[in-house]
Amino acid sequence: MSDNTQENKVAKDQPSRLFVFNGGFVTNRRLRAIVSGAGYQIKLGHPSAKDNVAVWGHSPTAHRGEAAAAKTKAGIIRIEDAFLRSLFPGRSGEPALGIVIDKTGIYFDATSPSDLEDLLKNHPFDDAVLLKRAREGMYRMQAAHLSKYCATSLTAPLPDAGYVLVVDQTKGDASIRLGGANSNHFKEMLFTAREENPYARIVIKSHPETNAGHRTGHFSEDDLDENMEIYDGNASPWSLMSGALSIYCVTSGMGFEAIMAGHRPHLFGQPFYAGWGLSEDRFPVQRRNRNLTKVQLFAGAMLLYPTWWNPFENQLGQFEDALAWAEANARAWREDNDGYTACNMRLWKRAPLQSFFGKFKRLKFTTPLKDTRSSRPILSWAGKTDDALLETAKAQKLRVLRVEDGFLRSRGLGADLVPPMSLVVDKNGIYYDPSGPSDLEILLKNNTQEHIHRDERARRLIDKLIAMRLSKYNLAANPLPDLPVGHRILVPGQVEDDASIKLGTDTISTNLDLLVATRAAHPDAIIIYKPHPDVEAGLRQGKVSEETALLHADIVVNKGDPIALIDAVDEVWTMTSLLGFEALLRGKTVTCMGMPFYAGWGLTRDKMTVPKRRLKHISLEALVHATLIDYPRYFDPKTKQACSVEIVVDRLASGETHHRGIANRLLAKAQGALASYSWIWRR
């Protein structure tokens, strides 16, 4: 069991019945499930002295439970949202990713101790594994711009850097009153910020619920002088903090994030993160006199104190499960919230595309692109993005985003109409076209420096892919035949009319040419030729007869397991095949006759001229993080929501993947029968 769930499990000698007097505990299915998973049985009625009563923090309804507990001498357990909650505030109705279940007090009430305060005062925080998780969690939250509410923009306008940031909160918030503050403390905070920074611009950050019109804040235009401004944009707090010289808070959770970002916030209240030597406390909490590192503070507040939910398995989980959900869904909101017009998409692809990109605003489909009367960007399948579409989009001042299958696609072929579990969306080009930059190439150029947390996650992913023997399509394969003994070279066949061949090769652009070149370079090697599965199925071009192939290869392996083949050989020669990338993961030498996305970075032997844009060496971990974590989008077919690469790996390994509907199965059979007329069904 994880640390965080251990800390919140009910001990065997404690009562498990939990009486509630707030309808949310009954109607909120996620909340009910988390509380139940933590070992409590939610009950209605009258508690006894042996029971506990649950109340929501110090909310306006908490008095009901408090009165019942006082009358019956039952214990009180206070429950609140965890510090990484959801995309939107709770008033939107979105369920929380985690809660805190506090048997002593509640974290924002500085008038008395809480379970969190006890943790921070007394936990040794000397567990290397725990601290390593905390460091990686801090890195990932900052890298993904995650806050308590994650639906923030990475492109929103920001004030020019070099300001003092003053953080406002909503009036009447219990964390202010119980954090030893009131409205006068906000006035004092603003006065002090100006006094201590007489020549600096003051930027007042308003609260998201104030921006949404739900609750008023403490500051208005009447409070500003000539060098002050109120910022009510939806920028990521991490972006705002990166431009700040210093940060002033009362009890806002943004002060906690400021510590994570390397600031030492000035505090005019007594929030949970005050008193640990990481902030300038204007009103110290006398009970707190321990110095912690920000990693230890994060470990206590994010890993040990909350009870987290795993949305992908619908059960209790760890902080990392909630983090993975927040990363994937915050990215989906940021990229998709304005909606798209999808152009020239085949009919069978429309439902998967709607699932991937239409959660927040449904896609509009059109064929061909016409005057859309809309500012929505255009989604276009990369291989069908022609000059006519680009010119039409340019005339309407619309961005064109190219879509393509990801690198861990499915169990089954796209040519067999199996929906994808990963897609890439590229605003600059597309990964298989080396003639110009792509988003992936830009990511790789920016990933040249080693980073311990990035590289460790990539290494875990590599190890998992190897252990689970996963590749792009994960097809059922025949056992390998006995292979000749010697220096073995795998030559993977490709679809010869594929865009990666047309755009990514020069002198060697057919499967036969590749075989000839490989044999010429290695006259004594054992050359193993593996035809491409789409070509084997008769769905695409590139067939080399076995008789012809054996003039240059020692053996042809039809429908062979590609991972078993990679394991069995010493090196791989390819044009642009993804098998070259999969071979790199497994430590094989890879020679590229073309220029695939993984070539030109010092990891392959490149026979084609490398674009000057790529003349940098990167690590395998950097390649994998950019290619499999940062670049693609992933979709969980089990829960029908955006997810992380690790979830897709688990689904591919377990077989919990997309199942084609009857229409797709019948169409796939028909197109197989009509393979020689593919120009009809591939329109």
For residue 397, what are its two tokens? 């001042």
- CA angle, 558 as apex, 405 and 561 as ends, to 5°? 60
Record the pTM.
0.92
How much is the pLDDT for 279?
A: 98
- CA angle, 167 as apex, 453 and 121 as ends, to 5°? 60
Torsion of CA 483, 488, 492, 493, to 10 degrees: -70
Asked if 25 contacts 32 with a C-beta cutoff of 8 angstroms, the reply is yes
* Gyration radius of the chain over CA positions: 29
End-to-end CA distance of the chain: give it in Å, rounded: 52
Per-residue b/e over 414-450, b at no fewer than 16 CB within 10 Å?
bbbbbbbbbbbbbeebbbbbbeebbbbbbbbeebeee
Per-residue pLDDT for 541 more than 90? no
Question: What CA–CA distance (Å, rounded) separates 206 from 204?
Answer: 6
The pLDDT of 589-615, averaged and rounded, is 96
Question: What CA–CA distance (Å, rounded) separates 405 from 467?
Answer: 23
Phi, psi (deg, nearest 5) at residue 304: -95, -40
Phi, psi (deg, nearest 5) at residue 3: -55, -45
pLDDT digits (tens, 9 = 90+) for 341-353: 999 899 999 999 9
The pLDDT of 80-107, averaged and rounded, is 94
Per-residue pLDDT for 405 more than 50? yes
Q: Which helix (H) or strand (E) holds 487?
A: none
Question: What CA–CA distance (Å, rounded) separates 85 from 88?
Answer: 8
How much is the pLDDT for 415?
A: 58
Torsion of CA 558, 560, 565, 568, to 10 degrees: -90
Query: What contacts 456, CB < 8 A, 6 or more positions away?
Result: 136
| CATH 1.10.530 is right for the domain spanning 3-122 | no
Beta sheet of 364-366, edge-to-edge order: 364-366, 341-343, 378-381, 400-405, 422-426, 632-636, 641-643
For residue 677, what are its two tokens? 């007329």
Q: Are 153-271 and 452-654 the same fold in CATH?
A: yes
Enumerate the β-bridge partners of residue 524. none
Question: Maximum distance among all alpha carbons in the chain?
Answer: 91
Q: 138 or 208: whose pLDDT is higher?
A: 138
Instruction: Place 667 in a pLDDT band, splitting at 50, 70 and 90.
Output: very low
Question: What CA–CA distance (Å, rounded) separates 568 from 273?
Answer: 55
For residue 473, what are its two tokens? 């399509």
How much is the pLDDT for 4?
A: 46
Per-residue 3-state assignment (H helix, E strand, C coil) for 71-127: HHCCEEEEEEECCCCECCCHHHCCCCCEEEEECCCCCCCCCCCCHHHHHHHHCCCCC
Question: What CA–CA distance (Å, rounded) separates 683 from 680?
Answer: 6
Per-residue pLDDT for 314 more than 70? yes
Query: Can you give the length of the chain in residues?
Result: 683
pLDDT digits (tens, 9 = 90+) for 490-536: 999 999 998 999 999 999 999 999 999 999 999 999 999 999 888 87
The dihedral built from the CA positions of residue 621, 627, 633 and 637, taken in this order, carries a sign that is negative
Per-residue pLDDT for 301 more than 60? yes
Task: Say if strands 41-43 and 98-102 run parallel, antiparallel, or are unpaired.
Answer: unpaired
| CATH 3.90.1150 is right for the domain spanning 452-654 | no
Query: What contacts 252, CB < 8 A, 6 or more positions away?
Result: 167, 168, 169, 207, 271
Question: What CA–CA distance (Å, rounded) separates 41 from 20?
Answer: 10
DSSP string, 365-397: EESS-----S-PPEEEEGGG--HHHHHHHHHTT
Q: What is the mean pLDDT of the chain?
A: 92
Question: What CA–CA distance (Å, rounded) separates 290 from 117?
Answer: 11
How much is the pLDDT for 582?
A: 97
Asked if 620 contacts 436 with a C-beta cutoff of 8 angstroms, the reply is no
Instruction: Place 560 in a pLDDT band, splitting at 50, 70 and 90.
Output: confident
For residue 144, what are its two tokens? 């993904």
Instruction: Place 661 in a pLDDT band, splitting at 50, 70 and 90.
Output: low
Q: Determine whether 98 is exposed, middle or buried from the number of CB atoms within 10 Å of its CB (0-12, 13-18, 19+).
A: buried
| CATH 3.40.50.2000 is right for the domain spanning 153-271 | yes
The dihedral built from the CA positions of residue 160, 165, 166 and 170, taken in this order, carries a sign that is positive
Per-residue pLDDT for 659 more than 80? no
Instruction: Place 215 in a pLDDT band, splitting at 50, 70 and 90.
Output: confident
Per-residue 3-state assignment (H helix, E strand, C coil) for 444-470: HHHCCCCCHHHHHHHHHHHHHHHHHCC
Per-residue pLDDT for 61 more than 80? yes
pLDDT digits (tens, 9 = 90+) for 420-479: 999 999 999 999 999 999 999 999 998 777 789 999 999 999 999 999 999 998 877 788
Asked if 571 contacts 577 with a C-beta cutoff of 8 angstroms, the reply is no
Phi, psi (deg, nearest 5) at residue 136: -65, -40
Per-residue 3-state assignment (H helix, E strand, C coil) for 616-659: CCCCHHHHHHHHHHHCEEEEECCCCEEECHHHHHHHHHHCCCCC
How much is the pLDDT for 214?
A: 80
Instruction: Place 12 in a pLDDT band, splitting at 50, 70 and 90.
Output: very low
Q: Please state the domain extents for the chain.
A: 3-122, 153-271, 452-654
Per-residue pLDDT for 371 more than 80? no
- State the residue for tokens 């920001």: 158
Instruction: Place 89 in a pLDDT band, splitting at 50, 70 and 90.
Output: confident
The pLDDT of 400-422, averaged and rounded, is 88
